[in-house]
With several copies, the nearest count.
Chain A
Amino acid sequence: MSDAMVRGWSRTGMAERAAADIPEGWVVNLGIGLPTLVANYVPAEREVIFHSENGVLGMGPAPAPGEADPWLINAGKQPITLRPGASIVGQSDSFGIIRGGHLDLCVLGGYEVAANGDLANWSTGKPGAVPAVGGAMDLGAGAKRVWALMEHVTRDGHPKLVERCAYPLTALGSVTRVYTDLAVIDVTKQGFRVVDIAPGVTFAELQARTGAPLLTAG
């Protein structure tokens, strides 16, 4: 069986799949990149409060062209709008919200997630590269739930769900769930447990692309 046959969800499909699991009322931080797309799949009538670590609660969609407020950006430095009910806090209060466990959810990208929930997503550890961490370690350590949203394997086919992270860690025992192009997988005390598999993907195919044993829901 070749990799080409295992397609799973597209990138937007992954974002949509994660968005479906976010209930009304949650306070949610979306990481830069793919996780940001999740907001597009939460309908406006489902009230989810999006947090941005630079001090916003209640982010709305991107502004119409030419209507950006220069005083409103998100953590990815993109222009944003505010929803009715939004509020602004300073930087120490914003990370107090994160570290204090007041975010119901943070959705982050990941290089690797280990079966014990360890997260590696801030550094490839390449010597000479400029390290940059931003709020990743605070979010990884602080949110009530951390979902990793990432491809199931690397570009050259190596598993990103592993027994132990090889990349430098972002946070210990942090990730509670992983959304990939192939499956939705919970991190439990017993290890990875499959919650959902993308249409057309078999359990065997999934296990073959995963660096640690997969439990099934039963």
Chain B
Amino acid sequence: MIDKFVPDIDAALDGIGDGATIMIGGFGAVGQPHALVDALAERGLRGLTIIANNAGADFGGLPKLMERGAIRKVVCSYPRATPGANKATFENLYTAGKIELELVPQGTLAERIRAAGAGIPAFFTPTGAGTKLAEGKETRMVNGRLCVLEHALFAEFALIEAWEADRWGNLTYRRVGRNFNQPMASAATVTIALAHRRRELGEIDPDAVVTPGLFVNRVVIAEDAA
């Protein structure tokens, strides 16, 4: 019997070691698997590469991971705190030269992650052409427009948040919680989902599944689950 449910968050995070490349879902605080990230911060890891849209934000477990020196490099589009928040941890580390940043336009980030999942090793996009973020990248005119060659972005682990899950790992998302969780689920060697509702196999309508279970390796049910 296929059963991707794991009993707790420790089991969900099993095998994540120093130097790992980890995708973390969410946009802003919505769809970020906070319980997984918080627990990750307790593991005393070093040298992580984190791929997460809002990696510089002041909310969730990422600032804690950064403060503790777990993160070597961040790949993201918006490494900045929400307006009005205190100066974010990321900014301090970045200014001090203690963390590396690969800044990627948000849509290119999403598409590079999708490409990794879909077996497209590289693609041309008009986004960023002629800007500082395309410096050093291959460009060419395609259909009369200047385009940049971008490459698929893979990870060893993806930590994502879902709404429903069954034992095959089929997932649904709730409202904008879908965001980066959907493409990231397909782009990692080991995809770990924090889900809010446990469903029996067959309970989720086949047309309603957003992430088929084959993309998912482990599911842990959130403590708030009904």
Contact = CB atoms under 8 A, between A and B. Distances in A.
Interface stretch (A10-18, A92-100, A192-200, A201-209): A92-100
B178 A55 contact: yes
A85 B105 contact: no
Contact of A85 (B80, B119, B213): B213
Interface size class of B (residues with CB under 8 A): 35 or more
A137 B78 CA distance: 12
B164 interface: no
Contacts of B119: 96, 98-101, 142
Interface in B163-196: 166-168, 170, 173-183, 186
B131 A171 contact: yes
Interface stretch (A125-133, A147-155, A156-164, A178-186): A125-133
Contacts of A132: 56, 77-80, 103
B117 interface: yes
B127 A142 contact: yes
Interface residues of A, number: 59
Q: Which of A70, A88, A89, A94 has the most CB of B within 10 A?
A: A88
B78 A133 contact: yes
Contacts of A172: 129-131, 146
Nearest to A91: B110
B213 to A, nearest CB: 7
Interface in B88-111: 90-91, 94-95, 101, 103-108, 110-111
**Nearest 3 Cβ contacts at the A-B interface:** A84-B202, A95-B107, A99-B119
